[in-house]
Amino acid sequence: MSDFLRSNQKLDEAISGADNFEAMREKMLQTLAAQGQVVRSRTDAYDVRVIPQSPAPPTPRLDDERRDCRPPNAERVLYLSGNSRIVISSADGEAALDLIEAQLRATLGNQR
């Protein structure tokens, strides 16, 4: 068995009441077969094959959902403190840059 089967709540509940190894094995295999993770042979009780499961689709990150993918149409370079250079860009034009700059100056300081 080269594939690793992860435990889940139903599997844990099924084997929790077992009092010996054979009962635990049987409950585990019945639960995994019902979930479609293994196939049991009809002729040999110890012939069990793992069904490869397709990987779960990746969950989208929240950052990707909020990212604005429009091309920027306005850009501004700010020097708020010494030689610290900050480049800000916006797809909403100069008015949006004015708001961003005001927020940065309020947060980082009002030095030019």
- Interval 68-104: pLDDT, tens: 678 888 899 988 877 888 899 888 889 999 998 898 8
pLDDT at 76 (0 to 100): 92
Q: Residue 7 has which token pair?
A: 């435990």
55: left (phi over 0), alpha (psi -120 to 50) or beta: beta
Per-residue model confidence as pLDDT tens digits over 2-24: 455 677 788 788 778 788 888 88
Angle between helix 9-16 and helix 21-34 axes, rounded to 10 deg: 150
- Go through the chain and tell me how many residues it has: 112
Examine the pLDDT at 32 and tell me if it is beyond 80: no
Over its C-alpha atoms, the chain yields an Rg (Å, rounded) of: 29
- The residue ranges of every structural domain in the chain are 9-50, 65-108
Return the half-sphere exposure (C-beta side, CA atoms, 13 A cut-off) of residue 65.
4
Q: Which helix (H) or strand (E) holds 90?
A: strand 84-90
pTM of the model: 0.38
Q: Which two tokens stand for residue 10?
A: 């139903």
Query: Residue 63: what pLDDT?
Result: 60
